[in-house]
């Protein structure tokens, strides 16, 4: 299979993987915050960016999240389209250095932008007494995401990483 076709196929699969994972991740509870869950589908734009480049990561982040928002009618996904676009693009930019850990840390940017948008759009309110547990839950989710991204990158790099990036 030609590299361009493989790249397009990979981007399409990762874009569709995001909304496919959305109903599943609601069953992965956050170990630190009762009632919250680990949004493991956020790693998909980072993986697309790492493997295929910044434009690919941005497309996967924006389209995958938008599809999830349309399918599930979730206001959080609606607000997360732009943060995931930025996260995928930055992961693609850092992916050119072939550092799994550097690309994985872009999830911190994604979580930060998500929280900013959720708070600004008043989708999420945090009482002053809950700030500590919220930060602890966000930190634990970020660490789980980083480990998952590094593992996926290391295991799939041989087959999916493209030196020619876009």
Q: What is the pLDDT of residues 55-113, one digit of tens each?
A: 999 999 999 999 999 999 989 999 999 999 999 999 999 998 889 999 999 999 999 99
The predicted pLDDT at position 51 comes to 94
Give the global pTM: 0.93
Only one residue has tokens 């480049």, namely: 53
Asked if the model's pLDDT at residue 49 lies above 80, the reply is: yes
Distance CA 166, CA 163 (A): 10
Per DSSP, what are the bridge partners of residue 37? Answer: 29
CATH placement of domain 3-160: 1.10.1760
Asked if the model's pLDDT at residue 33 lies above 80, the reply is: no
Domain ranges in the chain?
A: 3-160
Which of these, 68, 51, 66, lies nearest to 9 by C-alpha position?
51
User: Is residue 146 a contact partner of residue 43, using CB atoms and an 8 Å limit?
Assistant: no
The predicted pLDDT at position 65 comes to 97
Give mean pLDDT, residues 138-157: 95
3-state secondary structure of 154: helix
Give mean pLDDT, residues 107-135: 93
Q: Which two tokens stand for residue 40?
A: 């493991």
3-state secondary structure of 105: coil
Tell me phi and psi for residue 34, to 5 degrees.
Answer: -65, 135
Distance CA 140, CA 67 (A): 27
Torsion of CA 100, 149, 91, 156, to 10 degrees: 70
Per DSSP, what are the bridge partners of residue 29? Answer: 37
The predicted pLDDT at position 160 comes to 87
């Amino acid at each position: 299979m030609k590299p361009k076709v493989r790249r397009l196929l990979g981007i399409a699969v990762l874009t569709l993987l995001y909304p496919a994972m959305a109903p599943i991740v609601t069953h992965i509870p956050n170990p630190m915050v009762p009632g919250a869950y680990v949004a493991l589908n956020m790693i998909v734009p980072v993986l697309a960016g790492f493997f295929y480049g910044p434009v690919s990561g941005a497309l996967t982040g924006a389209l995958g999240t938008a599809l999830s928002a349309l399918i599930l009618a979730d206001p959080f996904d609606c607000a997360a389209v732009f943060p995931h676009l930025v996260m995928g693009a930055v992961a693609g930019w850092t992916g050119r250095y072939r550092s799994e850990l550097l690309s994985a840390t872009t999830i911190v940017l994604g979580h930060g932008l998500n929280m900013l948008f959720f708070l600004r759009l008043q989708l999420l309110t945090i009482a002053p007494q809950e700030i500590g547990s919220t930060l602890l839950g966000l930190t634990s989710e970020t660490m789980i995401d980083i480990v998952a991204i590094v593992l996926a990158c290391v295991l799939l790099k041989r087959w999916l990483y493209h030196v020619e990036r876009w």
